[in-house]
Amino acid sequence: MTKDNSLKETKRQIEFMHKAGKIVEQRSKALSRPLYAMTVTFGCQMNFRDSEKIDGALREMGFLKASSEEQADVLIYNTCTVRENADKRLFGRLGVCKAYKNKNKNMIIGVCGCMMQEKQVVDRIKKEYPHVDLIFGTHNIFAFSELLYKKMSEGGFVADILESTDKIVEDLPTERKYSFKTGINIMFGCDNFCTYCIVPYVRGRERSRKPADIVDEIKRAADDGVKEIMLLGQNVNSYGKGLDTDVTFAKLLKEAASVDGIRRIRFMTSHPKDLSDELIEVMAENENIARHIHLPLQSGSDRILEAMNRHYTREGYISLTEKLKKAVPDIAITTDIIVGFPGEDVQDVSDTIDVIEQVGFDGAFTFEYSPRTGTAAAKMEQLDKGFVQENFDRVLKTVHKVAWERSRRFEGRVMEVLIEGEDEKDPERYTGRISQNNVVHFPKSGYHVGDLVQVRLDECRGFYYNGTVVP
Ligand code: SAH
Ligand code: SF4
Ligand code: F3S
């Protein structure tokens, strides 16, 4: 899509925001109260970023933030379908919000995101949840304003789902959830087709944004006072494919690191098969790139890795982590692990456990394999649930043991902490994170949310620290 077309689309959408805004104004006058909106987000950082765009549009239309789902005049669920329990959670919520709509007849309920790219889900919502007013998918999230305006001006049921897109619409307004940190999309979609994964089917083919557009967005964020950014993509390491410049992720990261005011840069997610030496070098050379990498392992068995279509071996993975540790001292490495992939036996699980121990992960999300419609692995013979549960428990025990040992390593050190907010359990204390992503709680002592402060990590309490500010 050309820059001109992208700008035209942005302008069109902003016009819809203004038109919808007029209706909001009229309704608000008639009701003698403001109108409220809320977005509920499931899933990954990509979805959270998409929701910030929806929230930006709602703000432009004049909606205030609802403090509960029940209070909302417009309620949007942004869905995830990466595992089965994500689906269950949405249907539970949709059941509950029927009662809200009975009380507020003009309430508009919308559902969007990854689940909407699955035909059987949309059919089920239409049939079983007729109180849903608006459905759209991942490829036309940019058209949210147009669709909501249509619903508000014409009524009826509005559904618009595209099979695919090559569009990247730039410069839409967004509403940042946090003033001091934000996600920045660098690419959309995924071409990797790991055999268990639905993401390539619901997010479409991989498309990279132009480096100049990304850097502009980072500069604007820095001007607004943002200190920490997270560059987002399903596989950031393959960034740049299909662009007409020879940019790589490492080059982009280096440029991002040089933007004035950006104190910390994170990125998600790195696929081990595409992690380059150039990237490791850039991390080592730039102090403001977080000393943390999330590097999904999925399995420590070569046989299973191959069946998963991951394109690396256990040895390859281990040597990557060794290179990272050598070049970037103090780096924290976290991972994702799937237990129960079709064909996985006790030995495969032991291989995974062995890699967890060898690498010494700082943290790991462990998932039970969940068959997803349309994926290659869903057609394979599935394992017995009890057997998977036993293996899952073995893996989880190892993960806890290893991560617990690892996280103690910073005890007693003074480290830089970005203050993220008040400690939920104690209003006299703040909660923040160190570059490695570990959480630290400490007494407030006159600082503000978004400040970077030096904190002594006095005591490790498993997965977080208690500390004191060092003036
Ligand atoms: N693009 C990222 C992962 C996105 S999905 C990457 O490649 O690293 C986040 C995690 O969900 C994956 O790393 C994987 O561990 C898990 N996952 C994906 N599909 C799954 C499935 N069908 N069952 C269980 N876990 C799954
Ligand atoms: Fe899914 Fe694999 Fe793409 Fe990650 S890289 S989103 S796991 S297909
Ligand atoms: Fe879920 Fe979609 Fe992200 S399926 S994990 S929200 S890309």
Report the CATH number at residue 416: 2.40.50.140
Scan for tokens 């994702």, then name that residue.
336
Task: Please choose from 199, 201, 234 the residue to mutate so as to test ligand 3's pocket, defined by most ligand atoms within 8 A of CB.
Answer: 199
Residue 43 Cβ inside 6 Å of ligand 3? The answer reads yes
**Of the residues 381, 410, 439, which one is the last residue of a structural domain?**
410
- For residue 170, being part of any structural domain is answered with no
Q: 362 with 424, same domain?
A: no
Instruction: Go through 381-393 and write b for each residue having 16 or more CB atoms within 10 A of its CB, e for each that does not.
Output: eebeeeebeebbe
pLDDT band at residue 462, thresholds of 50, 70 and 90? confident
Closest ligand relative to 196 C-alpha? 1
Angle between helices 144-154 and 45-61 (to 10 degrees): 50
- pLDDT of 186 reads 97
- For residue 166, being part of any structural domain is answered with no
Angle of CA points 249, 178, 206, to nearest 5°: 30
Task: Please choose from 83, 235, 338, 372 the residue to mutate so as to test ligand 2's pocket, defined by most ligand atoms within 8 A of CB.
Answer: 235
Q: 307 with 403, same domain?
A: yes
- For residue 167, being part of any structural domain is answered with no
Residue 82 Cβ inside 6 Å of ligand 3? The answer reads yes
- For residue 117, being part of any structural domain is answered with yes
Tens of pLDDT, residue by residue over 434-443, are 999 999 999 9
C-alpha distances out from residue 56 to 52, 179, 207, 299, Å: 6, 14, 23, 39
Long-range CB contact pairs, 85-89, < 8 A, 24+: 85/370, 86/42, 86/43, 86/115, 87/115, 87/121, 89/42
CB atoms inside a 10 Å sphere around CB 105: 6
- pLDDT of 164 reads 83
Q: 235 with 348, same domain?
A: no
- pLDDT of 227 reads 97
Ligand 3 nearest-atom number relative to CA 44: 3
| Closest C-alpha to ligand 2, atom 4 | 234
| Closest C-alpha to ligand 2, atom 5 | 192
Res 3 pLDDT > 90: no
Rounded Cα distance between 435 and 418, Å, is: 8
CB 189 within 8 A of CB 205: yes
Please give the distance, rounded to the nearest whole angstrom, from the Cα atom of residue 345 to the centre of ligand 1: 20
Mean pLDDT of 398-421: 94
CB-based contacts of 58: which residues, under 8 Å, 6+ apart? 37, 39, 74, 175
- For residue 168, being part of any structural domain is answered with no
Tens of pLDDT, residue by residue over 329-355, are 999 999 999 999 999 999 999 999 999
Q: 327 with 425, same domain?
A: no
Rounded Cα distance between 109 and 85, Å, is: 21
Q: 120 with 242, same domain?
A: no
- pLDDT of 170 reads 80
Res 4 pLDDT > 80: no
Mean pLDDT of 362-380: 97
Rounded Cα distance between 43 and 269, Å, is: 14
- For the chain, the domain total comes to 4
Q: What is the CATH number of the domain that holds 115?
A: 3.40.50.12160
Q: 278 with 341, same domain?
A: no
Nearest alpha carbon to residue 73 among 141, 145, 133, 137: 133
Length of the chain: 471
- For residue 445, being part of any structural domain is answered with yes
Nearest alpha carbon to residue 368 among 298, 270, 312, 304: 298
Please give the distance, rounded to the nearest whole angstrom, from the Cα atom of residue 462 to the centre of ligand 3: 29
Q: 150 with 183, same domain?
A: no
Q: 362 with 458, same domain?
A: no
- pLDDT of 397 reads 97
CB-based contacts of 374: which residues, under 8 Å, 6+ apart? 118, 198, 201
**Of the residues 383, 410, 437, which one is the last residue of a structural domain?**
410
Mean pLDDT of 190-210: 96
Which amino acid, 317?
Y
CB 301 within 8 A of CB 348: yes
Closest ligand relative to 233 C-alpha? 1
Ligand 3 nearest-atom number relative to CA 45: 3
- As beta bridge partners, residue 455 has 415, 469
- pLDDT of 88 reads 84
Domain containing 86 equals: 3-160
Retrieve residue 440's tokens: 């630290």
- pLDDT of 86 reads 81
Rounded Cα distance between 255 and 292, Å, is: 18
Mean pLDDT of 347-365: 97
What percentage of the chain has pLDDT greater than the value 70? 100
Q: What is the CATH number of the domain that holds 397?
A: 3.30.750.200
**Of the residues 391, 410, 429, which one is the last residue of a structural domain?**
410
pTM value is: 0.94
Ligand 2 nearest-atom number relative to CA 235: 5
| Chain mean position to CA 91 | 21
Ligand 1 nearest-atom number relative to CA 336: 15
Q: 143 with 15, same domain?
A: yes
Q: 380 with 436, same domain?
A: no
Rounded Cα distance between 366 and 158, Å, is: 38
- pLDDT of 1 reads 64
Residue 232 Cβ inside 6 Å of ligand 3? The answer reads no
Concatenating the DSSP letter of every residue in 418-438 gives EEEEEETTEEEEEEEEETT--
Question: Among the listed ranges 102-106, 169-173, 394-398, 456-460, which one has the minimum average pLDDT value?
Answer: 169-173
Question: Among the listed ranges 50-64, 79-93, 252-266, 408-422, which one has the minimum average pLDDT value?
Answer: 79-93
* SS3 call for 468: strand
Q: What is the CATH number of the domain that holds 248?
A: 3.30.750.210
Long-range CB contact pairs, 199-202, < 8 A, 24+: 199/82, 199/114, 199/234, 201/117, 201/118, 201/374, 201/375, 202/81, 202/114, 202/115, 202/117, 202/118, 202/137, 202/138
Q: 406 with 424, same domain?
A: no
pLDDT band at residue 41, thresholds of 50, 70 and 90? very high
Nearest alpha carbon to residue 155 among 113, 122, 106: 106
First to last CA, the chain: 51
Q: For residue 289, what is the DSSP state? A: B
- pLDDT of 446 reads 87
pLDDT band at residue 57, thresholds of 50, 70 and 90? very high
The rounded mean pLDDT for the chain is: 95
| Closest C-alpha to ligand 3, atom 7 | 199
Ligand 1 nearest-atom number relative to CA 371: 22
- For residue 295, being part of any structural domain is answered with no
Q: 395 with 457, same domain?
A: no
- For residue 382, being part of any structural domain is answered with yes
Mean pLDDT of 408-417: 95
| Chain mean position to CA 231 | 10
| Whole-number CA gyration radius for the chain | 23
